[in-house]
Amino acid sequence: MFEIVIVGLGLIGGSVSKALKTGTRHKVRGMDTDESAVLDALSCGAIDDRASLFDIKNADIIYLCTYPDAAVEFVREHVGDLKNGCIVTDTCGVKQSVCSRIEALRKDETFLFVGAHPMAGKEKSGFSESTASLFSGASYIITPGAAPQAAVDTVSELARSMGFGRIILTTPEKHDRLIAFTSQVPHVLACAYVMSPSCAEHQGFSAGSYRDVSRVADINGELWSGLFLENRDELVSELDCLMRNIGRLREAVFKEDKSKLKSLLQEAGDRKRIYV
Amino acid sequence: MFEIVIVGLGLIGGSVSKALKTGTRHKVRGMDTDESAVLDALSCGAIDDRASLFDIKNADIIYLCTYPDAAVEFVREHVGDLKNGCIVTDTCGVKQSVCSRIEALRKDETFLFVGAHPMAGKEKSGFSESTASLFSGASYIITPGAAPQAAVDTVSELARSMGFGRIILTTPEKHDRLIAFTSQVPHVLACAYVMSPSCAEHQGFSAGSYRDVSRVADINGELWSGLFLENRDELVSELDCLMRNIGRLREAVFKEDKSKLKSLLQEAGDRKRIYV
């Protein structure tokens, strides 16, 4: 049985706690700067207990479920407290900046670090939104870095116990490049989309397409501005690519070039059918 | 009991037939240039019979469920056949160009025309994708134009019988401006989005955001290139607005201006919460 500490009991940390309590028999303790999240987690049994400094020192596994800067800060503050072989793993949506900073703190210390990104979320945040089933069938991306195989295996097994459908091992670089495309661009898009003056009049004139593109516009600005900036180069590059491609379609419409327009739509349709 | 003719038994025409057969006791006949769609519709009871020229002449209500040009063509071909007081209504996703062309054909003829756009669809097309429940709860937009109130009422009542949740009366101009935003921009976006080279590697790195933005990229190029071009000015204007707003967010990321970025995201979030 592992002694587990969850740092940060928001949407992700709360869901990790609930999923671990549901899917495993490990001891799960939690902490949060927001006392009400801790009390809520205790009262619904999402954690066995509040995590004390003793629990941090005694932890076999620590899940960092905070914003990136706070995750790095937690390690900086507790780097001397962690026991030999303690596995520290995070849940941040950017990997290069977080992993390199935590690796730099690790130096000769004997804790192990396994970077990770559970690919699940919601528009809403906070412990009250967390569920044991949030991760059901989702991808759990691991960037092992310098971690030994045994630590990666432990984190993978716990992810499976939490309901994740597949484990992807990759580098922080590839993660950040693809996440810019799969997650960050849609968030930028949703925000840019609802800024149209027409948005104020959409009701009655909209259906699934509006709903899907605008869904994540109800965004946590503090969290996402940080994630965007920590992945600046990759995100800017994907946005430039997107704007070029919107521009190609826009030009075909503007010039009333139907055969060009059709061939661009055909190309897009083919890509969607191949890559799903 | 009305004598109803459905022209075009694809996704929309098939669903109109099935919904009318399910929700009313009217006589529903259908026709399509694709013989197999007619046979499928007959064999599953989506239509009572194949529509003959006699049925067109005898029709109380005709639903045009084809591409815009074919809808106008049908009216041009049969303008002398339609009986006094026959209600012709369409289902096209653009209204100004379709309604003005059909109105021009109507001149002194005695059929009535009620422009309409059922706000429901799917990524897939064809009769085999049609369902009686496609319209459940959706908006039915009517652009009455010169039609008498009684004809608008009849079309509205039939829409309610098909399961539509609300009837919106508006002008072709307002319809086309808002549809450019709510439906056409998301289709352009989805196509532009999947054209990123990163799309080929998304699997395992994507979740709800990728799925939602890319959903309609599996597009019918013939249909949508026509719809885009028939609404060229409104669509270009909305795309320019979108690219300007993506550009503002991109600039804030590029310049690492966190406070600007946060305030843009905050503004977007506020708009999404207000306009839903």
Question: Mean pLDDT throughout B64-79?
Answer: 96
> With bands split at pLDDT 50, 70 and 90, how would you rate the model's confidence at A120?
confident
Which one of B143, B170, B197 terminates a domain?
B170
Reported as type and span, the H/E element at residue A228 is: helix A221-230
Inter-chain CB proximity A205 and B243 less than 8 Å: no
Q: Which residue has the higher pLDDT, A124 or A202?
A: A202
Specify whether B149 is located in the same domain as B12.
Answer: yes
For residue A133, the one-letter residue type is S
- Please give the residue of chain A at the shortest CA–CA distance from B214: A272
B229 to A255, B58, B274: CA distances (angstroms): 9, 35, 32
Question: Mean pLDDT throughout A107-111?
Answer: 83
Cα radius of gyration rounded to whole Å, chain B: 21
**Statement: residue B109 has pLDDT above 80:** no
Specify whether B121 is located in the same domain as B214.
Answer: no
* pLDDT recorded at residue B123: 76
Specify whether A128 is located in the same domain as A204.
Answer: no
A255 touches chain B (CB under 8 A): no
Specify whether B107 is located in the same domain as B226.
Answer: no
Which one of A170, A191, A226 terminates a domain?
A170
B172 contacts B143 by C-beta, under 8 angstroms: yes
Percent of chain B exceeding pLDDT 90 equals: 95
Q: Which residues face A87 on adjacent strands? A: A61, A112
**Statement: residue A123 has pLDDT above 80:** no
Question: Mean pLDDT throughout A242-268?
Answer: 98
Inter-chain CB proximity B181 and A199 less than 8 Å: yes
Shortest distance, CA B56 to any CA of chain A (angstroms):
31
Inter-chain CB proximity B181 and A187 less than 8 Å: no
* pLDDT recorded at residue A72: 97
How high does pLDDT run on average in chain B?
96
B219 touches chain A (CB under 8 A): yes
What is the per-residue pLDDT across A185-239, written as a single tens digit (0 to 9) for each? 999 999 999 999 999 999 999 988 999 999 999 999 998 999 999 999 999 999 9
Shortest distance, CA B62 to any CA of chain A (angstroms):
24
- Please give the residue of chain B at the shortest CA–CA distance from A208: B120
Reported as type and span, the H/E element at residue A246 is: helix A232-254
Shortest distance, CA B230 to any CA of chain A (angstroms):
9
Inter-chain CB proximity A195 and B139 less than 8 Å: no
Question: Mean pLDDT throughout B191-217?
Answer: 95
Taking contacts as CB-CB distances below 8 angstroms, the residues of chain A near B255 are none
Question: Mean pLDDT throughout A32-57?
Answer: 98
- Please give the residue of chain A at the shortest CA–CA distance from B273: A218
* pLDDT recorded at residue B147: 95
B246 touches chain A (CB under 8 A): yes
Specify whether B42 is located in the same domain as B145.
Answer: yes
Q: Give the best residue of B195, B243, B244 to mutate against chain A (max A CB count within 10 A).
A: B195
Q: Give the best residue of A69, A191, A234 to mutate against chain B (max B CB count within 10 A).
A: A191
Taking contacts as CB-CB distances below 8 angstroms, the residues of chain A near B217 are 268-269, 271-272
Inter-chain CB proximity B261 and A215 less than 8 Å: no
* pLDDT recorded at residue A247: 98
Taking contacts as CB-CB distances below 8 angstroms, the residues of chain A near B210 are 181-183, 186
Q: Give the best residue of B12, B135, B140, B249 to mutate against chain A (max A CB count within 10 A).
A: B249
B121 touches chain A (CB under 8 A): yes
Specify whether B188 is located in the same domain as B162.
Answer: no
Q: Give the best residue of A119, A164, A205, A241 to mutate against chain B (max B CB count within 10 A).
A: A205
Taking contacts as CB-CB distances below 8 angstroms, the residues of chain A near B248 are 192
Residue B148 belongs to domain with CATH number = 3.40.50.720
Specify whether A40 is located in the same domain as A127.
Answer: yes
Specify whether B9 is located in the same domain as B104.
Answer: yes
* pLDDT recorded at residue A182: 96
Specify whether B162 is located in the same domain as B209.
Answer: no
Specify whether A130 is located in the same domain as A199.
Answer: no
A35 touches chain B (CB under 8 A): no
Question: Mean pLDDT throughout A242-267?
Answer: 98
**Statement: residue A262 has pLDDT above 90:** yes
* pLDDT recorded at residue B197: 97
* pLDDT recorded at residue A102: 96
* pLDDT recorded at residue B173: 96
* pLDDT recorded at residue A66: 96
Quote the CA–CA distance of B31 and B81 in Å, as a whole number.
16
Taking contacts as CB-CB distances below 8 angstroms, the residues of chain B near A226 are 258
| Domain span including residue A257 | 175-275
> With bands split at pLDDT 50, 70 and 90, how would you rate the model's confidence at A7?
very high
Q: What are phi and psi of A139, to 5 degrees?
A: -85, 140
A121 touches chain B (CB under 8 A): yes
**Statement: residue B205 has pLDDT above 80:** yes
Centre a 10 Å sphere on the Cβ of residue A166 and count the other Cβ atoms it contains. 14
Inter-chain CB proximity A217 and B250 less than 8 Å: no
Specify whether A152 is located in the same domain as A249.
Answer: no
Q: What angle do CA A114, A120, A125 make, to 5 degrees?
A: 105
Q: Torsion angle of alpha carbons B208, B210, B215, B217, nearest 10°?
A: 180
Inter-chain CB proximity A242 and B246 less than 8 Å: yes
**Statement: residue A124 has pLDDT above 90:** no
* pLDDT recorded at residue A174: 96
- DSSP string over B101-140: HHHHHHTT---EEEEEEE----SS-SGGG--TTTTTT-EE
Residue A222 belongs to domain with CATH number = 1.10.3660.10
* pLDDT recorded at residue B74: 98
A71 contacts A98 by C-beta, under 8 angstroms: yes
Taking contacts as CB-CB distances below 8 angstroms, the residues of chain B near A120 are 207
**Statement: residue A116 has pLDDT above 80:** yes
Which residues 178-207 on chain B approach chain A with CB closer than 8 angstroms?
A: 178-183, 185-207
Global pTM reads 0.88
Which one of A170, A199, A215 terminates a domain?
A170
**Statement: residue B150 has pLDDT above 80:** yes
Cα radius of gyration rounded to whole Å, chain A: 21
Q: Measuring CA to CA, which residue among B142, B99, B132, B100 is closest to residue B13?
A: B132
Specify whether B131 is located in the same domain as B40.
Answer: yes
Nearest to A268 among B139, B186, B219 (CB): B219
Domain count, chain A: 2
Taking contacts as CB-CB distances below 8 angstroms, the residues of chain B near A218 are 269, 272-273
Inter-chain CB proximity A222 and B262 less than 8 Å: yes
**Statement: residue B134 has pLDDT above 90:** yes
This complex has an ipTM of: 0.88
* pLDDT recorded at residue B38: 98
